[in-house]
């Protein structure tokens, strides 16, 4: 079966750096996505990786290793507004998105 | 304001009743999706449409139906609601099925009692 694994919850301190990991086993691979979802709100797009390596976008970076079935989202200079759930999703061979359950990130002052 | 709109925002529904969740987008996106989100689980695809006039089944289609008569609208119908359909429902759209970004509506919180 298809599976996306990510930690359920993480805690970090304002101003620090946090890395959220995602491992996947899917039938085919056509890209990996990270979305941010604040409580009670809709998911919003953060990043997309289809080739191995690091994609940087401001304070957020996303890394992909296709051979290891592994990605991480790196958040730098954490702000209180970064408290949210972070969703990892993989697009499979049918171009359908398979979603992880999300990682709830708690930022403490 | 451009975007994707869902209605209603929330609903309490008696089991056995029929219910249609509405979704409208004004971005002229070809692809649209319906997901449900349950605590502890990832978003699960119910139905999708790659272009107006076509629809497809996702991971959890049973008990749900959709139609795509035009580009903008993608309603989701529960023919006879059951308590297990209590969930938060998200509609999403993207320019194409292979596009890199999907835009989500604000969600409909449905409780079936």
Q: CB of B51 within 8 A of CB of B29?
A: no
Residue A53 forms beta bridges with which residues? A64
Check residue B85 and report its DSSP letter: G
Instruction: Give the pLDDT confidence of A22-70 residue by residue, as tens digits.
Output: 999 998 999 999 999 999 999 999 999 999 999 999 999 999 999 999 9
Distance, CA of A23 to CA of A100 (rounded, Å) = 9
Res A95 pLDDT > 90: no
Instruction: Give the pLDDT confidence of B8-28 residue by residue, as tens digits.
Output: 999 999 999 999 999 999 999
Q: CB of A35 within 8 A of CB of A90?
A: no
Tell me the average pLDDT of chain A.
Answer: 95
Q: H or E element: which one contains B49?
A: strand B44-49
Q: Could you give the angle at the alpha carbon of B27 between the alpha carbons of B22 and B30, nearest 5°? A: 80
Going by C-alpha positions, the residue among B98, B76, B107, B38 that lies closest to residue A96 is B98
Q: Which of B44, B55, B100, B109 to mutate to test the interface with A (most CBs of A within 10 A)?
A: B100
Query: Is B88 an 8 Å CB contact of chain A?
Result: no
């Amino acid at each position: 079966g298809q599976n996306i694994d990510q930690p359920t919850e993480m805690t970090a301190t304002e101003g620090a750096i946090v890395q959220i990991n995602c491992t996947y086993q899917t039938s085919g691979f056509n890209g990996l996505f990270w979305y941010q979802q604040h409580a009670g709100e809709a998911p919003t797009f953060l990043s997309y990786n289809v080739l191995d390596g690091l994609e940087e976008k401001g304070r957020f970076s996303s890394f992909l290793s296709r051979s290891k079935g592994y990605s991480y989202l790196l958040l730098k200079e954490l702000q209180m507004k970064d408290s949210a759930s972070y969703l990892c999703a993989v697009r499979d061979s049918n171009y359908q998105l398979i979603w992880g359950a999300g990682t709830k990130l708690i930022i403490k002052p | 304001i451009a975007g994707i709109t869902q209605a209603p925002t929330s609903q309490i529904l008696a089991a056995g009743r029929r219910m249609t969740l509405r979704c409208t987008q004004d971005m002229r996106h070809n692809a649209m999706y319906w997901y449900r989100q349950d605590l502890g689980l990832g978003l699960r695809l119910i139905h999708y449409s790659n272009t107006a006039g076509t629809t497809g089944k996702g991971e959890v289609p049973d008990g749900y139906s959709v139609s795509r008569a035009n580009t903008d609208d993608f309603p989701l119908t529960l023919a006879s609601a059951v308590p297990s359909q209590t969930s938060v429902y998200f509609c999403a759209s993207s320019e194409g099925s292979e596009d890199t970004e999907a835009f989500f509506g604000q969600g409909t919180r449905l409780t079936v009692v």
